[in-house]
Amino acid sequence: MPAGFTAFDVNGDIKTSAVVNLSTGVTGVLPIANGGTNASAPGSAQANINSQISITTTGNIDDLDFGNASLIRMNNSGLSTIRGLLAGTNGQRVTIISVGGGQVDLAHENTGSLASNRLHNFATSANTSLAAGCGVATYQYDGTALQARWKLIEHFQGDFIDVAYSAGNFTAGGSMTWTVDAGDQITYAYYLSGRILTVVTYLDTTSIGGTPALQLFIAIPVGFTASRKFQNVSTLFDNGVFALAYVRVSVSGTTIEIGRGDTTNLTASTNNTYIRVLIAFSVN
């Protein structure tokens, strides 16, 4: 055993040996980690406890008991949605990293978990995601009375996440119809950074019918809503003819609007309308 002070948990495992905040001189109350060992954190009252736990559960996970580990390895094969972690001590941190083949979603203020166990994310209108095998997020516990939560302090989605095909994600204005077949959806993906959502779509050989009108609509992925009006310039092939296009979101909107740059009606086509979208905008 190294010389100095060492605290042991109930199992006899090393708990911590860092005790003093070197910058303030204030001694700290240290969190526990079962089986953990201290890596010390000069200048901080918080011990950086090296311990980890692996989770393979898929589906919704409420009030996850992670043993106060500092690292949660999500080794899920399918989608896992974490909706809460057992409450920590003030200032306690935990990092969640995706190492499996399944996406990990982190639900904001989900009522499936006890209030003091809930996650509080940057973006509030939909889940914050970790791309399978590469996303990572860190939460820090804020034990303030009546609003105790795990607060998201860092998040890297890791990669664009593809949106599963659904015909309902593609609609049109007025009496116009827009048919996007599964094979037409070459790319439809999103990346969340803070409260900035980047959406990219690459749609080929789609069809326009009914009464031609001004706009097509693509659903903003996974239920996010826009918090500001944003517009960007893009391109489309309107019944095979190149044209500039605008792409736009509106406050509280749930769709990305696409129209010709010259604000004329789109043209009816059969498998001959091609849409390209790249837009980043703020979300709630």
Binding site for other proteins (CB under 8 A): 1-10, 15-16, 19-20, 27-30, 32
Minimum CB distance to other proteins, residue 26 (Å)? 9
Task: Name the residue nearer to other proteins (CB basis): 19 or 268.
Answer: 19
Q: How many CA atoms lie within 13 A of 168 on its CB side?
A: 4
Minimum CB distance to other proteins, residue 21 (Å)? 11
Minimum CB distance to other proteins, residue 101 (Å)? 37
Q: DSSP for 80-117?
A: EEE--B----TT-EEEEEE-SSS-EEE-SS-TTS-GGG
Task: Name the residue nearer to other proteins (CB basis): 141 or 217.
Answer: 141
For Cα atoms 270, 274, 279, give the angle at the middle one, nearest 5 degrees. Answer: 145
Minimum CB distance to other proteins, residue 108 (Å)? 31
d(CA 156, CA 221): 17
Task: Name the residue nearer to other proteins (CB basis): 45 or 275.
Answer: 45
Place of tokens 């010709």: 260
Q: Convert 262-282 to b/e letters by CB count within 10 Å (16 or more is b).
A: eeebbebbeebbbbbbebebb
Task: Name the residue nearer to other proteins (CB basis): 10 or 182.
Answer: 10
Task: Name the residue nearer to other proteins (CB basis): 4 or 59.
Answer: 4
The DSSP H or E segment spanning 270 is: strand 269-282
Minimum CB distance to other proteins, residue 218 (Å)? 53
3-state secondary structure of 242: strand
